[in-house]
Amino acid sequence: MPVLSHGAEDDAAVNSLRSAVMRLGRRLKHQRVDESLTPTEMSVLGTLRRCGSATPGELARKEHVQPPSMTRIVALLEAKGLVRLDPHPEDRRQKVISRTEQAEAMLEESRRKRNVWLASLAEGLDEDEWAKLRAAAPVLEKLADL
């Protein structure tokens, strides 16, 4: 059952949400620890952190890119020492991609930097706004995972 009635009020809310999420996302992307990594490379490392080791095909599906593109991304990350490729336990033609300790340290520092930046923005909110934002976080997570 659809929640949105697609009236003018819902259209305005969707437009406002899209715009705010995009602007905030762009600003968050600038809070990077390693400027040599592209946003796509960072996204792949984040996916490996959230979902665990994966084959190139699985990563391509999760990242919504074509398998040849993922193969190139993985090769770049491997050359930077951020992922390792191991033989697949059941299919010798496949490889399993895992993040390295170097990637984990870089991701942790990136997360810390972005959290500090976002927390400093949140200090400008009043208690009611902060409570609403805390309540919205799980809903935004759900949207991000759909």
For 90-139, give the DSSP string: S-TT-EEEEE-HHHHHHHHHHHHHHHHHHHHHHTTS-HHHHHHHHHHHHH
pLDDT tens by residue, 61-70: 999 999 999 9
Phi-psi region of 53 (alpha: psi -120 to 50; beta: other; left: phi over 0): beta
Can you give the pLDDT at residue 116? 94
Distance CA 70, CA 60 (A): 6
> Does residue 18 lie within any of the structural domains?
no
- Residue 112 in this model has a pLDDT that exceeds 80: yes
> Does residue 97 lie within any of the structural domains?
yes
> Does residue 1 lie within any of the structural domains?
no
Can you give the pLDDT at residue 28? 85
> What is the extent of the structural domain holding 62?
31-145
Buried b (16+ CB within 10 A) or exposed e, 49-71: eeeebbbbebbbebbebeeeebb
Query: What is the count of structural domains for the chain?
Result: 1
Distance CA 31, CA 27 (A): 7
> Does residue 86 lie within any of the structural domains?
yes
Look up the pTM and report it.
0.73
pLDDT tens by residue, 20-37: 999 998 888 878 777 788
